[in-house]
Amino acid sequence: MTIRLYNTAQRKKVEFAPIDPENVRMYVCGPTVYDRAHLGNARPVIVFDTLFRLLRHVYGAEHVTYVRNFTDVDDKINATALARKEAGAEGSLEELVRERSDETIGWYHADMDALGALRPTKEPRATAFIGQMVAMIEALVEKGHAYAKEGHVLFRVRSYEKYGALSGRTVDDMIAGARVEVAPFKEDPLDFVLWKPSTDDLPGWDSPWGRGRPGWHIECSAMAAELLGESFDIHGGGNDLQFPHHENEIAQSACMGHGFANVWMHNEMLQVEGKKMSKSLGNFFTVRDLLEQGVPGEVIRFVMLSTHYRKPMDWTEKKRVEAEKVLARLYAAAAGVKPSDGVDVLIIDALSDDLNTHAALQRMQQLQKKPAELRAAMELLGFGSPEEVDWWRSDLTMTSGPTALGGESLSELMNLIHPYLDHWQSLRDQKRWAEADEFRQKLNEAGLVVQATPTGPQGERSSNFDPSKLEGLL
């Protein structure tokens, strides 16, 4: 089995060769836990969950370690905690910060669980690794790659010759167009903060440079090194993190002498109805908003995976409706059967080709007549079992199969209807249009209204649906 992944650092697909096949390691930048996850936050979760599932399938679940962090050191978290304290909440500021982080992490887990995402192997909180961050900063200062001034410690960007290689930027270009913080304690405008002072009313930790807290970028470098080693296989995240966050991670870690990540993967951003999601446009919503509106998590996952991770993903109402119909049909087909021992090879081939989830979903739909193989594919792709998902039973309006009727099971009725839909599609494929139209009319008279869609023929049961009228049509 050969897995090929697009390595941002090399700007091409590469054959994935883990450092140690017995210990495949992946790090993905996780959320800053100050509020609910919006829909865009869900995309990297689903993308790298799919990669996690593929790696577990190929190398064995016990041989894959997936780390995704929680950033719980942040000004927005502090602001919320301060507001609660001013409103009379009991406890110290540190306790209120912890309470807010716990609350938000709970929300995050619930929302991502609903999308079918497996929990990563390890989910470190930044606050649990302050000691490792301080040690790394001290080492960078000793090596001359960082300097302390006015309670701050900053990284000397120009001390790392390859800075900008990941994002394809030069230092001069960055200075010309960058929006960087200009501060009197900086030697160079591009230098970034590794440590900054904390006032008495903010959370802080003791350090050689006084009471303070770490900068954002050092967190991931320290946690990745501690949990995965100085060199590991894959680092992932959204392409909005490529610069400066991932660029800074590389600089810090490389100057420590760490090999860091061999493969860098970045997913593209999400749009809503063709526009960037924003509160000002009124198209901003969280994952929880959709779930509470009755959009199943499996449908959100299906829509997300329908677009390749390196292409912009457009969430539309049309896609949601179509995904719900397709999934209802697939759940009905897979209900009541045991999954096959293996997963269809074309599914694995698609995922192994730089996570071609669009092709994998198409193949999954082609397995509708092979319910055991279909079920195995659905489980690998994170859609769960039909018995654990309830919405499709009530929402199914006979998309390529009927709702329960006359005491028969959904799977039995699906088997009844499929030959007719397949025959109609076969006539169309052979361009026997007149015969196809005549056959379609007979199906309509039996109460089975059919139509062609990009995912194959679909049908809806009308109020006068009578299965007995289908007899003799084939």
Closest to 65 measured CA to CA, from 219, 247, 230, 224:
224
| Cis amide linkage into residue 402, ω under 30° from 0 | no
Sign of CA dihedral 255, 256, 257, 261: negative
* pLDDT-derived band at 397, boundaries 50, 70, 90: very low
Let me know whether 429 and 462 are in one domain.
yes
- Provide the pairing of β-strand 270-272 with 275-276: antiparallel
29 a known binding residue? yes
63: DSSP letter: G
Domain count for the chain:
3
Same domain, 215 and 308: no
8 A C-beta contact, residue 399 and residue 460: yes
Beta carbons within 8 Å of 90's beta carbon, 6+ residues apart: none
Indicate if 258 and 225 belong to the same structural domain. Answer: yes
324 annotated as ligand-binding = no
Highest-pLDDT range among 219-228, 415-424, 449-458: 219-228
What is the model's pTM?
Answer: 0.84
Rounded to the nearest integer, the mean pLDDT of the chain is 89
**19 within 8 A of 233, measured Cβ to Cβ:** yes
> Does 273 fall in a domain?
no
Domain with 166, as residue range(s), is 4-267
**pLDDT tens digits along 169-189:** 877 767 655 555 667 889 998
Average of per-residue pLDDT across 281-309: 94
Residue 137 in any domain: the answer is yes
CA separation for the pair 426, 420 (Å, rounded):
10
Q: Map tokens 């690794």 to a residue.
A: 129
Last residue of one domain, picked from the residues 372, 397, 422: 397
Give the whole-angstrom CA distance, residue 31 versus residue 446. Answer: 53
327: closest CA among 385, 408, 287, 407? 385
What three-state secondary structure class fits 79? helix
Query: Which of the listed residues 371, 397, 423 is the one where a domain comes to its end?
Result: 397
* Residues contacting 338, CB < 8 A, separation 6+: 372, 375
Let me know whether 247 and 188 are in one domain.
yes
334 and 453 inside one domain: no
pLDDT of residue 76: 83
Bridge partners of 193, per DSSP, are 154
pLDDT digits (tens, 9 = 90+) for 217-238: 999 999 999 999 999 999 999 9
- The response to whether 220 counts as a known ligand-binding position is yes
Residue 287 lies inside a defined structural domain of this protein: no
Residues 214 and 308 occupy one common structural domain: no
Q: Of residues 75 and 44, which shows the higher confidence score?
A: 44
Q: Within this chain, do residues 8 and 35 fall inside the same structural domain, yes or no?
A: yes
**Residue closest to 238 by CA, chosen among 263, 265, 218:** 265
- Say yes or no: 58 and 187 in one domain: yes
Average pLDDT (188-205) is: 90
CATH number reported for the structural domain that contains residue 168 in this entry: 3.40.50.620
